[in-house]
Structure 1
Amino acid sequence: MIDLHCDTIMQLIDHPHDGDLFSNKWKIDIQRLIKGHSRLQDFALFVDLKEQEDSYARYESMRQLFDSQIQKYSDHISHVRSYEEIKACYDNHKLAALLSIEEGGVLGGDLAKLEKAYKDGVRLITLTWNYPNELGEPNTGDPYKKLTKTGIEFVERMQELGMIVDCSHLNDGGTEQLGDILDVPFIASHSNAREVTAHRRNLPDHLIRLIGEKGGVIGLNFAQSFLGTSSISRIEDIVKHGLYIINKGGEDVIALGTDFDGIKPNTEIKDISDMHRLYDAFRGAGLSEEQTEKLFWKNADRLLKEIL
């Protein structure tokens, strides 16, 4: 299993007495990742620009916490910066930890900070969150706005460095533009299908097709409000979105982006160790073993190999 998005580091920094990366009260920790047969987990460093006086300092604090936890539990997990390091984790039966930034605005439009983030091991950036920033417009704003000049420069430099561009939270106009700017795939790390559930955070059909045509992936998000009308995040709704995305973008576009520890905790899948229930549900809904393996890890692995 490869999960392209979680907010566990946010929980660890905000609630230091409720556990650590090895064992905690939330939905993702090392113990549960091992139990769930995880290959790679992306850990997002999410910063709310309106809640932090110094968003970059908050990002740095989170990054340092991530580093310290990885070092503390290095017998079980490694921070990966290249596909060679990911493959080494596979071969050694060790968890791989990918580091990402959720909210490109923490870098303030500064290419030097982007370079530093790369040197510090960040390999994926979600360009926007819910506010406009120096790079572009979020899905909560004008759907037709394009990326800024700085945003284009950032995306081009990310491609040169070998960083994954993530359009989750970006508006439709900016996402369309990524298809023109990039020569490599890009992703929606934690997004669903808008035609299934009419939420602006979900992707319309033409963007599902675009991401698929570029060789990118879309990680299924387990947030209840993106899935349907139930008061909990139901397995059947996740399956419905997954099948729809496969129908529109092909079986090579689908992946996992749980958003665990960043979404409401009322989920039918109790935590990352319980993902076998979703695997069985997709098999029961008609996906072959190979198609389900693509969804659970092979599509994401292919993308990581190509870009990293």
Structure 2
Amino acid sequence: MIIDGHCDAISKLLMNQQADFYNSTILDVTLNNLQAGNVKLQCFAIYIPTDMALSGFQAILMSVDLYGRRILADPHIMPILNQADMDILMSGTKIGALLTLEGVDGLMGNMLYLRILHRLGLRAIGLTWNQANWAADGIGEPRGAGLTVMGKQLVRECEKLGILIDVSHVSEAAFWDVASMATRPFYASHSNVFDICQHPRNLKKAQIYEIIRVGGCIGLTFVPYFVSTTKPVEIVDLLKHIDYICECGGTENLTFGSDFDGMNEWINGLEHPGQYYNLQNILARHYKESDVENWLYKNWYRYLYNNI
């Protein structure tokens, strides 16, 4: 069983309106692939590409509408909004879908928009993509500032509503601003270990320790250049990141957030959710069964169950 903390299928569907969620070859994340990989819950991120004609809150609402019409409308999928839904999910045969937002640009500082999205099913937000916005600097912003006054207001409102905070993509200063004010566990949905692969989107050691300390999750991503600088990238290259986080004490915090549909190159043998069994088989050869189960789904399940 698998829980995956991040994918960009909504964005790809938004840009390819004729693509079929059931089995389109345009998509990494399809119903067929989720079923083939025994994915029990998939987090679906709303991300508005910069080259879209529409922007702002209207573009977010279009994405929510598409998510409802193209993904949730499938009878094999159920939305995950609360603990009761998690219980139903685990006792049934459906695949869960949890809606997240990657970058709050389109909220335009309006907390009313945030509350509306929560009522529409949003349960987690990443404050930025790589660039700066009204709430915070992203990791790609050279000045490297933290949360703005409105960004801090946003974090407080999210905690009041029960919306999880995702620190993947934010600047280091913004990460520590979140850490200094958060009263609930935050998480990194799709980030790896900087000491293993020096990509700016990966987490520094102190950040890893902080996420572990607060009881959050670290979702290792399958984007090849976040995993290794040596090509081709193989599944076994992920093991260095796993070992590092475990050595930091994060055995119960380690998860996976693939970023399928958000990349244009893939790890060999891990190119869509239907190939999760390849990862599972390699993990089974190197680690004990209870740890593998934690990383594949139990850690995500516990975190989500206790915090949404």
TM-score category, normalised to shorter length = over 0.9
> Does the CA contact (< 8 Å) of 2:208 and 2:245 recur in 1?
yes
- Alpha-carbon separation, structure 1, partners of 2:226 and 2:72: 35
Closer, same or farther in 2 for the Cα pair 1:232/1:21, shift >3 Å? farther
- Alpha-carbon separation, structure 1, partners of 2:222 and 2:284: 18
Q: Structure 1: 5+ residue runs without aligned partners?
A: none
> Does the CA contact (< 8 Å) of 1:103 and 1:128 recur in 2?
yes
Question: Secondary structure in 2 aligned to 1:260?
Answer: coil
How far off is 1:155 after superposition?
A: 0.7
Which residue in the other structure is 2:305 paired with?
A: 305
Cα deviation, 1:35-88, whole Å, max 9, x if unaligned, reads 211110001111135755523222211110100123431x20011111211221
Instruction: Give matches, 1:53-202, under 5 Å.
Output: 53-73=54-74, 75-142=75-142, 144-202=144-202
> Does the CA contact (< 8 Å) of 1:223 and 1:233 recur in 2?
no
Deviates more, 1:205-214 or 1:135-144: 135-144
Question: Secondary structure in 1 aligned to 2:248?
Answer: helix
> Does the CA contact (< 8 Å) of 2:138 and 2:144 recur in 1?
no
Q: TM-score, normalised by structure 1?
A: 0.94
Closer, same or farther in 2 for the Cα pair 1:136/1:249, shift >3 Å? farther
Closer, same or farther in 2 for the Cα pair 1:102/1:156, shift >3 Å? same
- Alpha-carbon separation, structure 2, partners of 1:34 and 1:204: 34
Question: Secondary structure in 2 aligned to 1:96?
Answer: strand
1:281 partner amino acid: I
Q: Structure 2: 5+ residue runs without aligned partners?
A: none
Deviates more, 1:40-49 or 1:214-223: 40-49
- Alpha-carbon separation, structure 2, partners of 1:50 and 1:277: 35
How far off is 1:238 after superposition?
A: 1.7
Does 2:255 correspond to 1:252? no
1:205 partner amino acid: K
Closer, same or farther in 2 for the Cα pair 1:110/1:34, shift >3 Å? same
Question: Secondary structure in 1 aligned to 2:45?
Answer: strand
Deviates more, 1:58-67 or 1:140-149: 140-149
Q: Percent identity?
A: 28
Q: TM-score, normalised by structure 2?
A: 0.94
> Does the CA contact (< 8 Å) of 2:57 and 2:113 recur in 1?
no
Which residue in the other structure is 2:6 paired with?
A: 5
> Does the CA contact (< 8 Å) of 1:222 and 1:233 recur in 2?
no
Which residue in the other structure is 1:234 paired with?
A: 234
- Alpha-carbon separation, structure 1, partners of 2:231 and 2:16: 25
- Alpha-carbon separation, structure 1, partners of 2:168 and 2:52: 20
Question: Secondary structure in 2 aligned to 1:48?
Answer: coil
- Alpha-carbon separation, structure 2, partners of 1:280 and 1:37: 13
Cα deviation, 1:264-307, whole Å, max 9, x if unaligned, reads 2433113101111112222222x211111111111111110111
Closer, same or farther in 2 for the Cα pair 1:106/1:76, shift >3 Å? same
Closer, same or farther in 2 for the Cα pair 1:217/1:105, shift >3 Å? same
Question: Secondary structure in 2 aligned to 1:16?
Answer: coil
> Does the CA contact (< 8 Å) of 2:72 and 2:97 recur in 1?
no
- Alpha-carbon separation, structure 2, partners of 1:228 and 1:71: 35
- Alpha-carbon separation, structure 2, partners of 1:265 and 1:199: 16
Closer, same or farther in 2 for the Cα pair 1:62/1:233, shift >3 Å? farther
Deviates more, 1:91-100 or 1:274-283: 274-283
Closer, same or farther in 2 for the Cα pair 1:134/1:249, shift >3 Å? farther
> Does the CA contact (< 8 Å) of 1:135 and 1:152 recur in 2?
yes
> Does the CA contact (< 8 Å) of 1:143 and 1:173 recur in 2?
no
How far off is 1:176 after superposition?
A: 1.4
- Alpha-carbon separation, structure 1, partners of 2:267 and 2:24: 17
Instruction: Give matches, 1:13-32, under 5 Å.
Output: 13-17=14-18, 19-25=19-25, 26-32=27-33
- Alpha-carbon separation, structure 2, partners of 1:210 and 1:5: 21
2:133 partner amino acid: N
Report how many aligned residue pairs link the two structures: 305
Does 2:288 correspond to 1:288? yes
- Alpha-carbon separation, structure 2, partners of 1:12 and 1:230: 31
Deviates more, 1:167-176 or 1:143-152: 143-152
Q: Cα RMSD between the aligned structures? A: 1.6
